[in-house]
Chains A and B, each alone.
Chain A
Amino acid sequence: MIEMDAIFFLLPIAVALGAVFAILFVIAVKRGQFEDLDDPPERILKD
């Protein structure tokens, strides 16, 4: 019975892990990492 219900705590953990990445994305947006998507790729070629 107990091993059958592994999903009851594995699923919330999986969703929580996903949420961590969603939060990281939000932080990245707030720090302005998505404001300029054109320059960094060109910069790599020049440096």
Chain B
Amino acid sequence: MSPRTSRKSGNVPVEAEAPPRISRCPHCGTPVEGSEDVFCCSGCEMAAAIIRSAGLDSYYLQREAFPPRPEGGGGDWDAVPLAVREDGMAEIRLQVDGLRCASCVWVTENVLQRTEGVEEVTLSYATGRARVRWDPERLKLSEVAGRISTLGYRPRILGEEGAPDTDLLVRLGVSAFAAANIMMLSAALYTGWLGGMHPRYVALFQWISLALAAPVAIWCAEPFFVAAVSGLRHRVLHMDLPIALGVSVLFVHAAVVTVRGSGDTYLDSMGMLVTLLLAGRVLESRGRRRAAEAATALAATAPATGRRRVGTAVEVVTAEELVPGDLMDVASGEELAADGIVTAGRGSVRMALLTGEAEPVEVGPESRVVAGSVLMEGFLTVRVTAVGRETVLQQMAHQLRLSADRGVKPVFTDRIAPWFTGATLTVAVATFAGWYLAVGMEKALLTSVAVLVVACPCALALSRPLAAAAGLGASARRGLLFRSGDALLEMGAVDVVALDKTGTVTAGDLEVVASDPQALRIASGLERFSSHPIGRAITRAAVDGGIPLPEAEEVREEAGFGISGKVDGREWEIRSGGPGKVVLRGKSGEVWTILLGDRVRADSRSAVEGIMAGGGREVVLITGDVEGIAARMATEAGILEYQAAFTPAMKADWIKARQDEGRTVLFAGDGVNDGPGLARANVGVAMGTGAASSILVADGVISVPSLRPLLAGFSAANAAKRSIRQNQLRSIVYNLGAVTVAAAGLVNPLVAAILMPLSSGMVILGASRVERAVAVETRHAGIPAPGSGRR
């Protein structure tokens, strides 16, 4: 797509025998037959009209990407409970999907801002989250949501966000302020060694340093004390133990020196140590929070609604308002809001999120249907049997959350920490004992304090949070969001990658599997304006296949029956031809069949090859589907091994069996039925397009419809692990040297103050290489660089 595509461009002449000119829809850029200024659908026409009337024409000149085609919003927004404040204004948080560039955000924000009744809108460029404050008396929520979805973006309701963790940041600020001032005073003290300084000034500087250091040692360093103590309680030598020990020894030592008025203090080293460590923690928690928030946002949903029959009338109600016994109408293309039994009508229902099977199931009177499934064709009247939390879907989701809470997964443990901590303590004690016996108390105390200062594992403790934060960021920018650094690092150990079929290896959506291009062209003309899943699949296939959408006239869509109209001046109709088939008939006797079904994603094969590259990892397809389909899909995706006809429990058992063999398993899936597997696997990755509950139990979420982000994840995990290992090695070498010098009694506060930032700087440099390493590796694998695509 070329940037700055205005409405006048894209006028590509076609080959001689096709007289209709091809142009691009001025709004969404879809190629259509006809002269300029022809919109591909009424949705685009409306979106453009709104943008023009708001005076935001410059959007078309500035945008860097085409917006998605408007598909109409789902759900009944007016049924959402509103929190109205005292001044009569209501406020709501929304997640807006489909924003592709900064201009998209700008135009959406401004269109809303210029809507009458809206008081304030902020839409985040980075996350696509909006906060809208408006007057509910003058404007309905459905109108707010409608404005967004008319532009082609999809709004979803978000819950209230938790208060962000500002505590660490405040601690960091206080500690940085104190450390900087202590350092300034220390510099004066160090120069005092040369020229001689009156004891009065030394005392002044030391007392002020001590006053500044007190809040650092007592309050800013509190998280390290807490972690060290809880580690001791669990009989673990935690990495924070030597830090806590170092900080307290340094502070107590300085207090004693200052009160006695003789000797030197190490308070500048202490301030720097605490500041650097807190900075590392802040960075890590930021990276983690951002990824976790993005994952939670993917689990947000549009409110579900149903149509309830009251006598002969039909009213639209939210899913919560339905009660067992109600009669509910469901039209083709709609999602069921509750569990129930069909009382009248026939149709085919797709339950992919629940069962993992993409193929629709035929239903008729007395059939059981469940909430969350989609009626692909037909028309049903359903007697509601269960609603809300009682539905099969919600029950399964609930079970899943319970099992995920119970099973605490083994995390990436730092094997070096206890060894290192033990060694440091031993050396400190030995130093003290040695000097005490050789010289005396005074010298023994000074040297053992010096040992603890230089051995304080600042660099070692920094290496993990910094590398994890860098890895999380690198992976998130490429579409794989992780909830924690542990999960990311665990990914580096994975040697078995199990993939679910539907929605993971395959698109999980209806796609055109086979069709004559000519038939596809005519069908896409008829379906151009349809919001039905089949219609959308046909239009998408035409657009993807580079077929410009033809113009259609007199189009009539009858829910449950089909669609008819004129293309090229001749009459056509599309009718259902049984499951996975539609038939296109022309007035003059042409009959074409278009096959629809689930397809392996176009880039799944390359993703699978990338995962297997280097031979370290084995890829297995696990599906509940029958042998034949599993074998075909596996071959298509380039997967060598497959397991067919697996129930959800069998998937989890299979993963367990592999783990018992000592393997580390990553499982990627999208449905509620994949939940047990996602919870069981060492690393569970959910598809962002899948069931909300699967996203909530998974360790990571892929935010784009592709498996390629897994490659970026592996690369980020390896780069982060490599960085940690190198940094640990470096800091151990450094510590060995420094401790030897300190134990020999050759370290004074100035030497310590110079040595410490050296080792920490090394670690920071090492972590900053993670992003670069991932960029190089993923560029080789052909994953688009960050920034080219926006969530």
A residues adjacent to B (C-beta < 8 A): 7-8, 11-12, 15, 18-19, 21-22, 25-26, 29-30, 32, 34-36, 38-39, 42-43, 45-46
Contact = CB atoms under 8 A, between A and B. Distances in A.
A21 B176 CA distance: 12
B619 to A, nearest CB: 36
Contacts of B103: 46
Interface in B167-219: 169-170, 173-174, 177-178, 180-181, 201, 204-205, 208, 212
B427 interface: no
A35 B170 contact: no
Nearest to B124: A39
B177 A46 contact: no
Interface in B576-609: none
Contacts of A30: 166, 170
Contact of A26 (B122, B174, B201, B204): B174
Given A7-B201, A22-B174, A29-B170, 20 more contacts: A11-B205, A11-B208, A15-B181, A18-B177, A18-B181, A22-B177, A25-B173, A26-B170, A26-B173, A26-B174, A32-B166, A35-B164, A35-B166, A38-B124, A38-B125, A38-B126, A39-B124, A42-B125, A43-B125, A46-B103
Contact of A45 (B102, B166, B170, B173): B102
B106 interface: yes
B177 A19 contact: yes
A42 to B, nearest CB: 4
A36 B126 contact: yes
Contact of B166 (A8, A18, A29): A29
Contacts of B164: 32, 35
Interface in B74-121: 102-103, 106
Contacts of A15: 181, 208, 212
30 contacts: A7-B201, A7-B204, A11-B204, A11-B208, A15-B181, A15-B208, A15-B212, A18-B177, A18-B180, A18-B181, A22-B177, A22-B178, A25-B177, A26-B170, A26-B173, A26-B174, A29-B169, A30-B166, A32-B164, A34-B166, A36-B124, A38-B125, A38-B126, A39-B122, A39-B124, A39-B125, A42-B102, A42-B126, A45-B102, A46-B106
A35 B282 CA distance: 12
A21 B126 contact: no
A12 to B, nearest CB: 7
A21 to B, nearest CB: 7
10 smallest CB-CB distances across A and B, nearest first, come from A22-B177, A38-B126, A42-B125, A25-B173, A46-B106, A29-B166, A29-B169, A39-B125, A26-B170, A39-B124
Nearest to A8: B204
Contacts of A36: 124, 126
Contacts of B181: 15, 18
Contact of B102 (A22, A35, A46): A46
Contacts of B212: 15
Interface string B326-358: 000000000000000000000000000000000
Contacts of A12: 208
Nearest to A43: B125
Nearest to A34: B169
B126 A39 contact: yes
Highest count of chain A CB atoms <10 Å: which of B126, B173, B181, B205: B173
Interface in B204-244: 204-205, 208, 212
A36 B205 CA distance: 39
A46 B323 CA distance: 49
A12 B102 CA distance: 49
A29 B173 contact: yes
A43 B123 CA distance: 10
B133 to A, nearest CB: 16
Nearest to A27: B170
A18 to B, nearest CB: 6
A42 B3 CA distance: 18
Contacts of A45: 102
A29 B790 CA distance: 28
Contacts of B124: 36, 38-39
A9 B201 CA distance: 12
Contacts of B106: 46
Nearest to A42: B125
Interface string B647-675: 00000000000000000000000000000
A46 B125 CA distance: 11
Contacts of A39: 122, 124-126
Interface in B137-183: 164, 166, 169-170, 173-174, 177-178, 180-181
B285 to A, nearest CB: 12
Interface string B53-75: 00000000000000000000000
A45 B106 CA distance: 10
A33 B103 CA distance: 24
A35 B164 CA distance: 7
A3 B180 CA distance: 27
Contacts of A35: 164, 166
A41 B201 CA distance: 46
A10 to B, nearest CB: 11
Nearest to B109: A46
A41 to B, nearest CB: 9
The residue among A15, A21, A34, A35 with the most chain B CB atoms within 10 A of its own CB is A15
Nearest to A22: B177
A12 B209 CA distance: 11
A19 B122 CA distance: 34
A25 B205 CA distance: 25
A11 to B, nearest CB: 6
A9 B102 CA distance: 53
A29 B166 CA distance: 7
Contacts of A42: 102, 125-126
A7 B125 CA distance: 50
B268 to A, nearest CB: 15
Contacts of A38: 124-126
A37 B166 CA distance: 14
Contacts of A8: 204
A5 to B, nearest CB: 8
Contacts of B125: 38-39, 42-43
B610 to A, nearest CB: 30
Contacts of B170: 26, 29-30
Contacts of A7: 201, 204
